[in-house]
Amino acid sequence: MPIDSRGSPEVSLADRATFFETEQWTAGVVGLGYVGLPLAVNAVQRGLRAIGFDVSPDAVARLQAGNSPVEDVSDADLLEALANGLELTSDESRLSEADALFICVPSPLNRHRQPDMSFIEAAAGTVSRVVGPGMMISLESTTYPGTTEDVIAPAAVSGGLTLDENVFVAFSPERVDPGNKRPLGSIPKVVGGVTLESGRVAAAAYGRLVDSVHLVSTSRSAEMTKLLENTYRAVNIGLVNEMAQLATELDIDIWEVIGAAATKPFGFQAFYPGPGVGGHCIPLDPQYLAWRAKEAGFATRFIDLAEQVNTRMPSYTADRIADLLNRRGLPVFGTEVLGVGVAFKPNVADDRESPSVDTLQVLVERGAKVSVLDPLVADDRVRGYGFTPVGPDQLDGFALAAVLTDHDAVDYEALAAAVPVVFDARGAYFRRGIAADNVVAL
């Protein structure tokens, strides 16, 4: 006999898993940013009802008007989802209508580069106020191992519900890849419950949202999975950034070396140097793991060393730019420098934690007059950093251009023709096969 969407305190594990696999249920999404909004839209596209909640009434109003701030959700996609039943609200009580809650709130670092748990803790407060019998609750925000058990699970049972009898708690890390148009449902989902039973119920729910679910034994394993994924990237980027510095000292072209090494069909994966690491994952996630390790009295030597190398890269990049100016008899102070790209990665408008911004700010602190060419990042964002935005037809008068984010929309041949020296911190010219005598690579 089918279970209604709210279930009852006597709902059995088997029945609830079957319910999520077979019935029409309601997804409640807490947080409507770059993770939550795509998830809510995807739920509707998969034939489910979805209620999206955000604490900002202004953000909800913009979304209800069909204005998506998330690159991976077009305005058309959002409008279609709204027409097909996506409900957006800043009234958290509406989440009590949901059968499954997906927590997609920010998990940044504070100014001491330690985890800022305030958003997750606020979401746990929301859970405690809206949780009902039969509900499955999944945390998707990146965090340290143990958060789901220590913060979310107590909130879920605070009103008298019993774990695995009438409430189920799990962790499933977001795997958003900004700028790459992969359908959310095509990315395999790692799921781990605070118990095996909660994990199985959560896996049944996610099975309706994505094509492939990989169930692990615990929420701690799922939390650690996300941290391993991005720590792996951070450590390897740190390695190649250090190799790039060494290659410069030895007068070796690091881009040629990486290209040669990448011809090996086994045992090597190419990572590329740059002015640092940016975005919402790689600069942050390893620090969650390092912080948790310190609590356990464990030294994360690889992570700490990669952090030192990567956070030093903006200053190193600025030093290389200053050296190139000096070789032309120019000081940094008062010289017109063009930064090409301030997004944290190619072909996106996202400038969160961007090392390109950090590099240019170092030059500004040294007295340079910095302008920015970025075809994707809005001019207001550029001005907000204290830089002057310019277009592709305004390249005259700069002593040097620094390619800090290699958007495909930039005409690199025209750039090299217009500016006396181009410092290529991203290998834009090498990887595109563009030869220019005035280009100097990182």
The 10 Å CB-count burial string (b at 16+, else e) for 324-352 is bbeeeebebeebbbbbbbbbbbbbbbbbb
Task: For residue 196, give the H/E element and its range.
Answer: helix 196-206
Per-residue DSSP letters for 306-317?
Answer: HHHHHHHHHHHH
- Rounded to whole angstroms, the maximal C-alpha distance in the chain is 82
Cβ–Cβ < 8 Å for 209, 43:
yes
199 and 168 in contact (C-beta within 8 Å)?
Answer: no
d(CA 15, CA 75): 38
What SS3 state is found at 155? helix
Structure token pair of residue 201:
């119920």
Contact (Cβ atoms closer than 8 angstroms) between residue 209 and residue 185: yes
Which residues are known to be catalytic?
281
Q: Report how far residue 391's alpha carbon sits from residue 7's, in angstroms, rounded to the nearest whole number.
A: 57
How many angstroms separate the CA atoms of 372 and 139, rounded?
A: 38
Instruction: Give residues with Cβ within 8 angstroms of 310, minimum separation 6.
Output: 234, 237, 238, 241, 276, 277, 283
Residue 160 neighbours by CB under 8 Å, 6+ apart: none
Cα–Cα distance between 354 and 280 in angstroms, integer?
9
> How many distinct helices (H) and strands (E) make up the chain?
16, 14
* Residue linked to tokens 């059995």: 12
Contact 60, 32 (CB under 8 A): yes
Residues comprising the chain, all counted: 442
